[in-house]
A and B are shown apart, each in its own frame.
Chain A
Amino acid sequence: MATESKTPGGMTRRGFTAAAAGAATWVLTSCGPKRLYEVPKEPLKQRIAEMEREYKEKRGMDLHISDAGPMPGVHFAYALDLSRCIGCRRCVYACVEENNQSRDPQIHWIRVLSMDKEKGVDLVGADPYYQPDLVPEEGKFYMPVACQHCENSPCTKVCPTGATWAEKDGIVVIDYDWCIGCRCCMAACPYGARHFNWAEPAIPPDELNPNTHYLGNRPRMKGVVEKCTFCIQRVRQGRYPACVEVCPVGARKFGNILDPASEIRYIIEHKRVLVLKAELHTVPRFFYFYAT
Chain B
Amino acid sequence: MRRPGLLVLSLLWGLGAAGSGQTSPPQSAPKGAVERLELPPPPFSEGIYPCSNCHAGMPVNRTRRELTAMHTDIVLKHDEEHRWCLDCHDANNRDQLHLASGEPVSFEESYKLCGQCHGEKLRDWRAGVHGRRTGNWNGEKQYLLCVHCHSPHQPRFKAIAPKPAPRRPQHPGVSTEKVTHGN
Contact = CB atoms under 8 A, between A and B. Distances in A.
A258 to B, nearest CB: 6
Given A129-B165, A291-B129, A259 B25 contact: yes
Interface in B62-94: none
Contacts of A238: 18, 136-139
Interface in B12-30: 13, 18, 23-26, 29
Interface in B148-167: 149, 157, 159-167
Q: Helix, strand, loop or mixed for chain B's interface?
A: loop
Nearest to A269: B2
Given A104-B180, A250-B133, A261-B9, A130 B165 contact: yes
A152 interface: no
A73 interface: yes
Interface in A76-106: 86-90, 92-93, 104-106
A90 to B, nearest CB: 6
A256 B9 CA distance: 16
A200 B159 contact: no
B31 interface: no
Interface magnitude class on chain A? 35 or more
Interface stretch (A19-27, A131-139, A182-190): A131-139
A249 B180 contact: no
Contact of A86 (B7, B157, B179): B157
Interface stretch (A44-52, A153-161, A239-247): A239-247
A235 interface: yes
A239 B179 contact: no
B162 A87 contact: yes
22 contacts: A88-B160, A88-B161, A88-B162, A89-B164, A92-B166, A104-B178, A104-B179, A128-B165, A134-B162, A198-B172, A199-B179, A200-B180, A201-B182, A235-B137, A238-B139, A240-B136, A245-B134, A250-B133, A253-B133, A259-B138, A261-B13, A269-B2
Interface of B: 1-2, 6-7, 9-10, 13, 18, 23-26, 29, 124, 127-139, 149, 157, 159-168, 170, 172, 177-183
